[in-house]
Structure 1
């Protein structure tokens, strides 16, 4: 049995990490049977999640995981894409994973109002790992400090809140313009980029944090409609 090691579902998203959600969305799109298991990221080979175990093989990193399953699939999602289409998808994947992710992460971890909503989800994860309850608050504080340090090192964390909101707004508008009235990100056929796009947009739209970034996303009707289509597609019975 294929096992997906992840952080855990919360609110109306598949996982608190959009990278874990990305893999889970892909598995559902491809009708791949899997078992989800909450895991300790520090004990994974790269100290990050997601990872998957396929028989005696462990595969780390969401993009590596998707590439592996695309390579062994009889019906890969990206089959038939032109080099130009693949390049565009790769560029948007990088925009989502290496730019928008850090904007959303900064909001979750740095903004005090958002943190008060996100903190219980982090503490729930610690509980699911079996850590004593009296340590949850301490570990949440330590995790917050560590994540904010990494976001600052990445660069987003060096901006002020207004600048970060502006960066996020520009990204969401760019995605909205490209998506236009297409059914899926690249057209009428679902592709691997849809696993990424839905996971990262859902992590903004489908969480109970009423932030400026979420309001921007909700103000762009095609982003809302896209997320609804994707949600229905991965939840639809086989």
Structure 2
């Protein structure tokens, strides 16, 4: 009887495994077909990007934001640099993340470049952009770039992913896809882990606010009455500072950082840390002026007259202060032509 039972059990197990073979085969075929389809789609995209033209930059980034051209200060930074350097570029929203899983990234003459700072350095060499800064000025510009890109940004992320729990994503996008809304809690959880590992997530939020305030005050003190950070000419450091300040002003409206750069009082001397961005009427170059200074509140009230805010998709609604303040990114940028018909869809 026992031997019969053992034979029965082995036969039933063999029967179950034989039934799973078609299921496993089907799954393997589906996965293979999906990967093949993705490879073909990506290949077609890259052929299309290469047709943009010689020395034409294809900037890959997420879609336009609701209050600003982008929710990412690094996209603002790179796009501002391309505009004031008069470099022709086109936007692409189909593949916002590059091979390093970072955004933005660019396609340039068939080459894929990632990281906004590395892209700026590459274009500075390729297009032979003049660098009139002294060694000391280059050192200071590098310090400000690192402070904004590697220190201030982490303080902003504490608010966005830990304190605010990703609510800014829903506010700052025109139409957030449903599947992305479902993934926001997961993104926040992963970023909180990154904040803890980086170290800033181990501090209290009050300490984080002090870190951000110190960075902003350093920019304000160094700028003083100069037209730009390094004097009377725009440098890449101005693009960096401008991008992060614009990000705070328009993508962090409910955060305490927004108050720091609009009408909040400085703890040091009771002044006001005020942010303004000046652009000339030519629209593109140089088109960017960062003006951050600690001023007396009464002086600010006299200079800042109420104005109509700019409306429009992808525009920054800067009020009319000092001059007609408008970000050049408000002007439309040509998009890539529509994709070709996919061969697998036929």
Q: TM-score range by the shorter chain?
A: 0.7 to 0.9
Bigger Rg over Cα: 2
Residue 90 (structure 1) aligned with residue 142 (structure 2): yes
CA pair 149-236 structure 1, distance change in 2 beyond 3 A: closer
Task: Give the drift of 1:117.
Answer: 3.2
CA pair 193-60 structure 1, distance change in 2 beyond 3 A: same
Residue 169 (structure 1) aligned with residue 213 (structure 2): yes
Task: Give the drift of 1:214.
Answer: 1.1
Task: Name the counterpart of 1:4.
Answer: 59
Task: Name the counterpart of 1:117.
Answer: 168
Task: Name the counterpart of 2:228.
Answer: 184
Gaps of 5+ in 1: 128-132
Tell whether the 8 Å contact from 1:3 to 1:54 is kept in structure 2 after alignment.
yes
Task: Give the drift of 1:87.
Answer: 0.2
**Distance (Å, rounded) in 1 between the aligned partners of 2:274 and 2:125:** 30
Which protein has the bigger helix share?
A: 1
- Which residues in structure 2 correspond to 1:1-238 (within 5 Å)? 1=52, 2-40=57-95, 44-76=98-130, 79-112=131-164, 115-121=166-172, 124=175, 127=177, 133=178, 135-207=179-251, 209-219=253-263, 223-225=274-276, 227-229=277-279, 230=288, 232=326, 234=328
CA pair 209-232 structure 1, distance change in 2 beyond 3 A: closer
Tell whether the 8 Å contact from 1:123 to 1:137 is kept in structure 2 after alignment.
no
**Distance (Å, rounded) in 2 between the aligned partners of 1:109 and 1:40:** 23
1:101-146 Cα shifts (integer Å, max 9, x gaps): 111121122223x732333446945x3xxxxx3x233211111111
Moved more, 184-193 or 84-93: 184-193
CA pair 123-234 structure 1, distance change in 2 beyond 3 A: closer
**Distance (Å, rounded) in 1 between the aligned partners of 2:216 and 2:251:** 16
Tell whether the 8 Å contact from 1:117 to 1:209 is kept in structure 2 after alignment.
no
Gaps of 5+ in 2: 1-51, 264-270, 280-287, 289-324, 332-346
What TM-score do the two structures reach when normalised by structure 2? Answer: 0.60
CA pair 39-195 structure 1, distance change in 2 beyond 3 A: farther
RMSD: 2.3
**Distance (Å, rounded) in 2 between the aligned partners of 1:14 and 1:34:** 15
Task: Give the drift of 1:221.
Answer: 5.8
Give the match's secondary structure for 1:117: helix
CA pair 14-233 structure 1, distance change in 2 beyond 3 A: closer
- Structure having greater relative contact order (Cα 8 Å, sep ≥ 6): 1
- The count of aligned residue pairs is 225
